[in-house]
Amino acid sequence: MPNLEKNHDSAPTRYPLTPKGFKWYIGSVLLAVLGLYVLSAYQTQAFPDRVIEGLPIMFYFVVEDLWPPNWGYLPRVAMSLLETWNMALFSTTLAAVAALPLSFLAASNINKNPLFYQAVRNAFNLLRTIPEIILAVVFVALVGIGAVSGILALTVFSLGILAKLISETIEAIDPGPLEAVRASGGNVFQVITYGVMPQILPQFASYTLYVLEINVKASVVLGFVGAGGIGIILRQQLNMFNYDNVATIIFMTFLTITIIDLVSNRVRERLE
């Protein structure tokens, strides 16, 4: 009997794989999310049966209206795609040039003034909250219809994104080189030049290419409000029900964005 009791007492203690109450917490969160989906479906009348009923309409629209594309419209599409690319390239370049110095003001390990630091961060947060299409409408009203308004809208929008990404990268760098430059009597500009820039240049280039991808896609949408690029002729052809031309625009836009994404992804992989 004593041996049995000893063996029984020495049995290993079982610990639960998940903390107590964790399953109830996850279940409650999932039920809340499901409830929000159901509420959204009732509010927007987006029921699955309506989607299923619309599938044949979408199929016949693609087969009968969009096909075949009008390849004779290709030269006009190519010129608009070139304008779209130029808009994205110029806006990304301007945003990258402006965001690099401003990002140091939004990094807590460079900008030691807490009030100034928070003010700069709030300004960049404000830029990111304004949709690019709203910015395009504003600039179209200011400078008129055309690519210039699109470039300005994308520049402001990209500035907020790049400044946030770069400033967070600066805050996460190794502080050793910074302290070494400061200890040797270096000023703020020397700390940035010799302590920060060598550490963030690969990420800076990678983020800039990523924003370029975003701007190429966004510039297509901005054309719908008159901000230049391929979106202008897409809207025109849709309004005139020239669906064969619309098919050409969609195909060439998809092909162009896919190539840009592939090239940009390869370059970013090499940089990282």
pLDDT above 60: residue 129: yes
Task: Tell me: cis bond preceding 68? Omega within 30 of 0 counts.
Answer: yes
Q: If you average pLDDT over every residue of the chain, what do you get?
A: 79
What is the rounded distance in angstroms from the CA atom of residue 12 to the CA atom of residue 216? 61
Confidence of residue 177 (pLDDT cuts 50, 70, 90): confident
What is the rounded distance in angstroms from the CA atom of residue 89 to the CA atom of residue 165? 19
Percent of the chain with pLDDT over 90: 2
Closest CA to 17 of 9, 8, 26, 30: 26
pLDDT above 80: residue 7: no
What is the rounded distance in angstroms from the CA atom of residue 169 to the CA atom of residue 204? 9
- Range 38-56 average pLDDT: 78
pLDDT of residue 157: 87
pLDDT above 80: residue 28: yes
pLDDT above 60: residue 247: yes
Q: pLDDT tens across 196-242, in order?
A: 777 888 888 888 888 888 888 888 888 777 777 787 888 888 888 78
- Range 48-53 average pLDDT: 75
Residue 84 in tokens: 């779209």
What is the rounded distance in angstroms from the CA atom of residue 147 to the CA atom of residue 225? 11
CB 162 within 8 A of CB 207: yes
pLDDT above 70: residue 254: yes
What is the rounded distance in angstroms from the CA atom of residue 114 to the CA atom of residue 124? 16
pLDDT of residue 13: 62
